[in-house]
Structure 1
Amino acid sequence: MAESQDQQEANKRAAQQIYDVWDGGDENVLDDVIAEDVVFDKPDHLGGQVHGREAYKDNLRMVRAGFPDLFFRAHEVVAEDDKVMAYCTFGGTHEGNLMGVEPTGASVEAWDFVYYRFNDGKVVEVISFPDLYGLFLQVGLVEPPGE
């Protein structure tokens, strides 16, 4: 179903609100833009698929615990029909435990492609494609190629 240009722009604004939350904003904003029964797909190394807004918020809290100075920037954002896709970067200093990995103190920056699907103005599906190799390399979980 084709969405109007106005709805596509509204979806992009809602996605920007999510980016702002990841960039240190109030997580309660997510209640206004993410459906209660959202499906969030992320790589298996990061917990795989989770269901529900609270699970999405738990993921945000987990990442913030590992990177208390977490930053998140959306660089290219496109909307078509009921979908928004963004090329983003994120990073921070690994100062907290993250998925069982003890803090390394490493400053990291990696990219992520994030897909959102909307229904009635709220996100009902999120798929994240982060550069885990780059992230793991920067925190020292993997050796650089050739070493």
Structure 2
Amino acid sequence: MSDADMMQLYSKRILALAADIPHLGKIADAQGSAMKRSPQCGSTVTAHVRMEGGRIADFGQEVRACALGQASAGVLGQSVMGASRDEIAKGADQLRAMLKEAGPVPDAPWGGLEVLVPARDYPNRHASIMLSWQAALAAIDEAEAAGEAAHG
């Protein structure tokens, strides 16, 4: 990878998102938590959620990833509050398609993922970029399963 390619990949917008990730850390009353790890690069993201009425009422994330993974977590964190599982899954599917199939930038509120378009050319970074989304979905699934068991 040339220096110019590296500079484009780690643009100022990516670094700004990576430096200011919303909802960092654990939450005290999480109903679901899940850790996802990329075996390719060793990046990890752990997500914690509290759900109310099928929507995220509280969210925390512990992000140990490259700048691209951190930027992706930053975009997720900016709009995760109040989102449903389906909305997060749709954003994750659109992000995956944007990276792997040169699909369009994800719909609002995930349009900030446009900053990751240059990562299309670096498939070895895709797993790290997807981690926060996968962890959030797994945490929601755990929270929903716990809720069903409690009301079962």
Per the normalisation by structure 2, the TM-score is 0.29
Per the normalisation by structure 1, the TM-score is 0.29
Higher relative contact order (CA 8 A, sep 6+): 2
- Would you tell me which structure has more strand in proportion to its own residues? 1
